[in-house]
Amino acid sequence: MNTKSIEPKGKTVPYPKRWAALFLLCTAQFIVIMDTSIIGVALPAIQADLGYSQSGLQWIFNAYVILFGGFLLLGGRLSDLFGARKVFMWGFGILTAASFLAGIAWSELVLNIGRGLQGLGSALIAPAALTLVMSKFTDPKEINRAFGFWGAAAAAGGSAGVFLGGVITEWLSWHWIFLINIPAGLIVLLFSKRLLFKGDTKKGRIDLTGALLATTALVLMVYTIVSAEHAGWDSLQTIGLLGISILLFMVFIMLQKKKMDPLVPIAIFKVPNLSAGNLMMSLLAAAWISLWFFLNLYLQQILHYSAFHSGLALLPMTIAIMFLMVGFTGKLVTKFGFKTNIIVGLVILAGSLFLFSTVPADGSFLRDVLPASLLAALGMSLTYIPGTVASISGAGPDETGLASGLVNTSYQVGSALGLAIIVAVSTTKTNTLKMAATSDVDALNAGFQTAFFSAGLLCIVAMLIVVGYIRTAKQS
């Protein structure tokens, strides 16, 4: 059925298939975010099978996140130019093919390429999907409820990826953490034309040069951070690569100012809340990704949980996030506004991370993990959706694709850079204690504690940014 004929002409006309369309889009969001986290517990199995070095393993994560973050702006621009549905389907076509390549990978290079292409597909999907969500609902209460489902799908994808990764790795093989995307992707493609209308299009050019510059700069910056531990923070390699990365970012900004059809019109940063909202989302991502990354390591390397039981231990947090975001977040945003919810959420998330920073080497799940993880779920539930809303709240209808692309870019770039920095801080702490003749377990646990504490500080910084620079609708 051609949905174009039933596309609502006015904002007051509800789209009859909006909830079915939302389910499809939430499925897409779940898959995109899950692909970021599902590889975590499978890394040892992949290493044993494909011969990755210990330092090379990080690129299974980074290849996805870097291309995801690096091309999100292009994805948002393409969504504006060609229509959100078309770009959404392009993205799922690439993601499905890339998942097949990653699933049958026979070498490090093939898997890294597959992961990178997965990130590219996701970069097209994410901004188009958010635009499609916003276009399906006209009632403010329904929009807030829809964002509740949307945020729950994203948060659940991140946490459930760890759980599913453990289940699949233990009971099937690591190949299936990629191959499961194929049937899901085909189902999404099958129903897209039936449930999603095309969306608006406009004329313009594609800034491929800008996209390549931004992505190359991001790749260099992440590589510099993750390799600084071995090369030295004051080494010529670290300083030189960091300088080149910053130079590329500066060239990117200069070109954007001069281009007639830039990838990122610099004027968009004058939109209320956009700059502060995106910075806050970057810090939130850095804190949240670090939380689940180090919590999984704590469960496996300190408490000696298996991959399956580690994922199972994160299930209460996943369920709590889904329940809170679907049932309460939208209502709280309607009642108190996005700013209040963000501030409270960040304070609660920081409190959770500070609790995790005290976990002992002989800790227990019920005493040291469950309470803090549920607190983290509450903090994330109060922050993620309002943060997204705040970041795009001032954008006009013709800027929605770009604004949503910026939000997703900020989140992914923040997760990549933030995790790289906090891993470096944690590793430095662990190595320092080992040199001081501290036992390996105690040194490793101290490194994890430092990571949690550092992530908590990021939440406090994000909260201060919100207090000082985010304006509510009544204030604008």
In a domain, 346, yes or no: yes
pLDDT score, position 155: 66
* Top-ranked range on mean pLDDT: pick from 117-121, 312-316, 336-340: 117-121
CA gap 396, 127 in Å, rounded: 15
Domain boundary residue among 258, 293, 327? 258
- Which of 7-11, 96-100, 212-216 shows the lowest mean pLDDT across its residues? 7-11
Q: In this structure, are 159 and 47 located in the same domain? A: yes
List the domain range (segments joined by +) for residue 230: 208-258
Contact 104, 50 (CB under 8 A): no
Domain count, the chain: 2
204: left (phi over 0), alpha (psi -120 to 50) or beta: left
Instruction: Give 350's contacts (C-beta < 8 A, 6+ positions apart).
Output: 287, 379, 456, 457, 459, 460, 463
Domain boundary residue among 258, 283, 299? 258
In a domain, 245, yes or no: yes
- Reference 91, options 130, 48, 134; nearest CA is 130
In a domain, 247, yes or no: yes
In a domain, 85, yes or no: yes
| pLDDT tens sequence across 56-67 | 666 787 788 778
The identity of residue 186, as a single letter, is: L
The identity of residue 162, as a single letter, is: V
In a domain, 474, yes or no: no
Contact 105, 111 (CB under 8 A): yes
pTM above 0.85, yes or no: no
Contact 430, 443 (CB under 8 A): yes
Q: In this structure, are 218 and 347 located in the same domain? A: no
pLDDT score, position 395: 66
Q: Report percent pLDDT > 90 for the chain.
A: 14
| pLDDT tens sequence across 70-94 | 777 777 778 777 877 888 888 989 9
Q: Decide which of 198 and 180 is more confident.
A: 180
Q: In this structure, are 154 and 183 located in the same domain? A: yes
Q: In this structure, are 169 and 212 located in the same domain? A: no
In a domain, 475, yes or no: no
Q: In this structure, are 351 and 325 located in the same domain? A: yes
Domain boundary residue among 241, 258, 275? 258
CA gap 151, 334 in Å, rounded: 15
Q: In this structure, are 99 and 244 located in the same domain? A: no
Instruction: Give 105's contacts (C-beta < 8 A, 6+ positions apart).
Output: 50, 111, 114, 175
In a domain, 4, yes or no: no
Backbone φ and ψ of 359, nearest 5°:
-60, 130
pLDDT > 90? residue 351: yes
Q: In this structure, are 117 and 181 located in the same domain? A: yes
Gyration radius of the chain's alpha carbons:
21
Q: What is the mean pLDDT of the chain?
A: 79
Residues 333-337: what's their mean pLDDT? Answer: 76
**Terminal CA-to-CA distance of the chain, rounded, Å?**
42
Q: In this structure, are 186 and 46 located in the same domain? A: yes
Q: In this structure, are 100 and 47 located in the same domain? A: yes
CA gap 91, 72 in Å, rounded: 11
Q: In this structure, are 310 and 437 located in the same domain? A: yes
CATH number at residue 462: 1.20.1250.20
The identity of residue 8, as a single letter, is: P
CA gap 120, 116 in Å, rounded: 6
In a domain, 112, yes or no: yes
